[in-house]
Structures are given as C-alpha cells and as structure tokens.
C-alpha cells in the first residue's frame, strides 16, 4: 500500500538512445525495449559512458536504463503542477518597442 502511494519501485530495461546534432534538429530520444513506457513523475537514469555526437551527425547507442516509478501522490502532484511549469518555459513577448 505504501509503495502505491509513495512509489519507489524500480525496473531496469534495455534502451536505444537516438541523438541528432544537425542544422535541422538537435534532439535526444530514449526508446525502451519491450514497449515499456514512463508516466508523469517517473524518473529515468540512462547508464553508460557519456555520449558526444559531433555537429552534423546523427547516432544511435544501446544502453541500459533504470526507471523509478512515481507513486500515486507524486504522479498526481506532477499532473496538477506540470502545466504551470511548462508555462514558465513559454515566457515570450511580442512588442513593437525594441531597444538596442
């Protein structure tokens, strides 16, 4: 019961890390084997050597990841506050006054 409320269950899965460092795209994606998914509040740690992809290249690496599952309380809190945190990233302004 406590694990359901507070979480902490961990699982280890194999994954593929896809990285692109090009003019068109700068991104990194982790795809888990076996259709494993993560939910709000879950934490993922990818193990292995640091990855560096030179500009203009794309690469894939095989790694192992540990997923710590969030409990009901953490998952609910993340759902409730996630929109506010996202809006902090979206601070922008459209104004005609520009000063240099």
Q: Collapse the DSSP code of 77 into the 3-class scheme (helix H, G, I; strand E, B; otherwise coil) and give the result.
A: helix
Provide the pLDDT for residue 81. Answer: 81
What does the pLDDT look like over 3-62, one tens digit per residue?
666 667 899 999 999 999 999 999 999 999 999 999 888 999 999 999 999 999 999 999
Provide the pLDDT for residue 78. Answer: 85
Work out the number of other CB atoms within 10 angstroms of the CB of residue 59. 13
Q: 15 versus 92: which is more confidently predicted? A: 15
Q: How confident is the model at residue 77 (pLDDT cuts 50, 70, 90)?
A: confident
Q: Which two tokens stand for residue 57?
A: 């290249």
Provide the pLDDT for residue 91. Answer: 52
Instruction: Report whether 70 contacts 7 (CB < 8 A).
Output: yes
């Amino acid at each position: 019961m406590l694990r359901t409320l507070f979480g902490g269950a961990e699982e280890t899965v194999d994954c593929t890390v896809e990285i692109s460092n090009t003019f068109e795209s700068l991104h990194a994606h982790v795809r888990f084997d076996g259709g494993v998914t993560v939910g709000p509040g879950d934490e993922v740690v990818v193990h292995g050597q640091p990855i560096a992809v030179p500009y203009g290249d794309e690469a894939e690496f095989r790694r192992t990841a540990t997923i710590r599952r969030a409990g009901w309380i953490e998952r609910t809190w993340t759902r409730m506050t996630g929109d506010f945190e996202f809006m902090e990233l979206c601070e922008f302004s459209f104004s005609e006054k520009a000063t240099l």
